[in-house]
Amino acid sequence: MTTNPPPRRSFRYELRSTEQRLALASAPLPLGIVATEPRRSAHRDLYFDTDDESLRRRGITCRLRVGASEFNLLSLRIDDASGAPTTRVDVPVRASDLAGALAESPLAARQLQAYVDASLLEPQLDLQVERITRAAHHDLLRRPRFELHFDSYTVRHSGVSRTFHQLCGHIRRGDGAKFAALADALSKQHDLRIPAGDPRAHAELLVRWRRSDARRDELDGSDAAIRIAPRNDAVHELLNPELSLVAFQGRVLALAADPRTPLRERLRFLGIVSSNIDELYMVRMSSLRAAAKDPHERSRRGDDGLTALDRLAMVEDEVASLLAAQSACARDCLRDAAAVGARMVPWASLTDHERDVLRARCVDEIHPALTPLAMTLSPGHPLPHLPHLALSLAVVFRRGPGDTPHLAEFELPSDVPRLMPVPGRAADVIAIEDLLRANLDLLHPNVQVEGAHLFRVTRRGDLTLDEEGADNLLTAVANATERRPYNAAVRVEVERTMPAFVAELVLESLRRDAETQGAEDAVEDVQVIDGLIDLRCLADLPLPPNAALEYAPLVTRAPLPGSRPMFDVLRERDLLVHHPFDAFDDYVIRFLREAADDPAVTTIRITLYRVGDPSPVVECLLAAARAGKRVVAFVELKARFDEEHNVAWARALEKAGGNVVYGLVGLKTHAKVALVIRREGEKLQRYAHVSTGNYNARAGRQYTDLGLFTSRDDLTCDIADLFNELTGSARAPQGLTRGALVAPHQLLPAMLGLIARETANARAGRPASIGIKVNGLADAEVIRALYDASRAGVQVRLVVRGICTLRPGVPGMSENISVVSVVGRFLEHSRIYRFGNAGAPEYYIGSSDLRPRNLRRRVEILVPVPDPAHRAELDRILELYLADGSGWTMDADGHYAVRHGEAPSAQVVLAAGEA
């Protein structure tokens, strides 16, 4: 025989802001229920106990409510541990102190005296309540059946205040079914997903984490901290780079949202956006926030027309919009995956047998490695370190009905798949956080778990590195890399269902962590994620083996005949290769492998930036070094997020007998060049390779890049000179003399000179044009030179994949400049520079974009391409991208519109090998 659950008598929902509270209080109620106009009131709830919480330990609550009506209200609740009904005493009193109230209520005094000496009771919690009340659903006698309270609670302790908001509903009389329907309708209509708990428990947790932080309180109370200043109608020269970067992530996300993109690739693009947003926070958000707090910077307008406060607020708004769109896209992709048989299922949908099998896996494979850490201020429990980019669960629990809530966290295991297969099902998976949530009794036995909420912390990505003071850069970078996981947090992603007070406690832990580490700034708010946190896991969704769900395999172009060494070919002609359409392994790896194996090769020199792990390139170098060849590797240890790999490869190369240079103080070496020296008769012949991309085999399959192989004396001599300066002088190269251009000293003035020549040609009536394909364009000096060229009548056509701070199409400034961005199956990475030169065009390829870091703070190289056939190929590539029918056209405000044109996709044409 089944029994119906007791009728619902009340409900509580958490509200996230004052604005949401006020909007809900004035909104019509759902289901056609009529309510009175909002009525405002305020009161204080004083909770009394002894210092050792003797009342709480006995399940007793003593509260004095002051100011709610003409009378104050003394309330006593006694919960009997044996299960007997709760004793309730509610007495109207005039006194506003406990002694006076007890004098007015002998019954309450006698009840309390049985447990504690009332003279020992002190107010342990002062909860100030601003309330908006609406009575609803009146009966025939005009008595309200329901009552709704829209409450704002402020708890003050030690000079610090914390505020939270709740909607609570009570049934006074009548229809319980209608009341339950109202609660559900409010939840759905206003997206109220988080049931709220007892406000006293909520407030007590906040008090336990009290912290005096006048600077933060001042910022929290300042409208200036969040206000976006009115836009200035004047057209400013430059766009904001961070906003441009977020816009690029939107274009990548559009590939994931496009149903024409194969499903497996859509899931991959979702993960790419997640990784890129992680990097945005790790690299850029700290400086944006610091500028917004700096009194000298926060109101000063930059070249983009924005103040630091404007800039931060706009970037955060754009990121929030992007994340909302990403979550919606993920839901669509999961729906489409379910349609082909790959489903992510909740614990509640599993059978008892499936749950038993998964629980057994928890017992055997997962729980032994989990370590719950209390988030408490107890001297014996230091605050846990919340690891970088790791998923963690914050668990709220009580040890008994009258106990205070406690908070602990544990990190999800990194050696267990995020998506666990459901036993007995072909392609159904369950997220590991859902599995662990459902089996928390294994980790927290004999407690009442009230919730477990997923979160992830992102920390700053910079290295604390004293390059000039370091005795050994390799050791310094290795040590700094080990310290990076302890950098200050810059973001906390939380599940939508995480209550605000839990989020606040996670933030407080990070603030204290920042203080311990001596960091000046700490993250001040959480980022609420509607759906899965860290969507990179979706790439592992077990889709069925269906060719329609992924891109067709790329058929690369026929390589050079294997019977003939590359050195023989390069003595006759240069080779221009375009990856991945020309396979990276067929050219770059082959070139280095032949050099390692050829007994006539004496020396290999190479720059290494991001080589990956494993690395076929480094394996070739190790083989060459072990064979007795002179291997000189310039390993850029400071390549962001690849430092650990590069330190390991540098040590391996040294161990094998290679000569390794670790980098230049204050600069990064980003140039991608290799030089092979081979003894041929009486002569030492040089062979060179210059690339737009890294010596990374995996990237060679995923990115479009150009490479030039040559034995020409002019270029190989320039590259030899570059290596001689890099390895022999410990200073930045000053310049090359035979046509190649090198940063940081030569490339920028040379680029400005090439643009100025086109400008002068246009003014003189000679043919003038500029065509450039890069990943980023943000150098103000270069942009102003392009504006001058446009004003002179130069047609400037740009393909810029990512950041672009130039404003195209502005009358009188850039009306002759167009910008297109192309994203697609392959991540665009090639760089091409073409200058019309009055009908005798010049072409360059190389490692450098047109951003300040490339031109001013890195060693970069561009090399000329003299071969007519190669120039024609570069022309063809440029024109394909400029006309790409799937490209995005940029307007003067930095907005992009996808073309949907009749012209084909450049990547599709190149993959098909079409002319």
Catalytic residue set: 670
Picking from 725, 712, 711, 724, the residue whose alpha carbon sits closest to that of residue 678 is 711
Picking from 114, 93, 206, the residue whose alpha carbon sits closest to that of residue 153 is 206
Reduce the DSSP state of residue 258 to 3 states and report it.
Answer: coil
Reduce the DSSP state of residue 761 to 3 states and report it.
Answer: helix
Q: 607 is written with which tokens?
A: 């720059």
Secondary structure element (H or E) that encloses residue 215, with its range: helix 214-220
The percent helix, strand, coil of the chain (3-state, each to 5) is 40, 25, 35
Q: How far apart (Å, rounded) are the C-alpha atoms in residues 125 and 155?
A: 8
Q: How far apart (Å, rounded) are the C-alpha atoms in residues 251 and 819?
A: 14
Reported as half-sphere exposure (CB side, CA atoms, 13 A), residue 758 has a value of 27
In angstroms, the Cα distances linking 33 to 26, 135, 177, 196, 869 are 14, 10, 13, 23, 77
Q: Is 165 exposed, middle or buried (0-12, 13-18, 19+ CB in 10 A)?
A: buried
In angstroms, the Cα distances linking 855 to 56, 335, 430 are 66, 46, 48
Query: Which amino acid type is present at position 358?
Result: L
Q: How many CB atoms lie within 10 A of CB 541?
A: 19
End-to-end CA, the chain: 78
Kindly give the residue spans of alpha helices, DSSP state H, lying in 77-198: 98-104, 106-113, 176-189
Say if CB 791 and CB 812 are below 8 A apart.
Answer: yes
747-763 and 780-792 helices, crossing angle to 10°: 10
Q: How far apart (Å, rounded) are the C-alpha atoms in residues 835 and 771?
A: 7
Strand partners, 76: 62, 89
Query: Which amino acid type is present at position 54?
Result: S
Q: 417 is written with which tokens?
A: 């798949």
Q: How far apart (Å, rounded) are the C-alpha atoms in residues 303 and 307?
A: 10
Q: How far apart (Å, rounded) are the C-alpha atoms in residues 597 and 579?
A: 24
Q: Tell me which residue has tokens 């500028």.
A: 291
Contacts 24+ apart (CB under 8 A), 192-196: 192/13, 192/14, 192/15, 192/167, 193/496, 193/497, 194/13, 194/14, 194/496, 194/497, 194/498, 194/499, 194/500, 195/11, 195/12, 195/13, 195/14, 196/12, 196/13, 196/14, 196/166, 196/167, 196/168, 196/499
Q: How far apart (Å, rounded) are the C-alpha atoms in residues 408 and 93?
A: 40
Sign of the Cα torsion 383, 389, 390, 396 reads positive
Strand partners, 815: none
Provide DSSP, 386-397: --BT-EEEEEEE
Strand partners, 136: 35, 146
Q: How many CB atoms lie within 10 A of CB 210?
A: 16
Q: How far apart (Å, rounded) are the C-alpha atoms in residues 318 and 700?
A: 32
In angstroms, the Cα distances linking 80 to 76, 391, 755 are 13, 40, 85
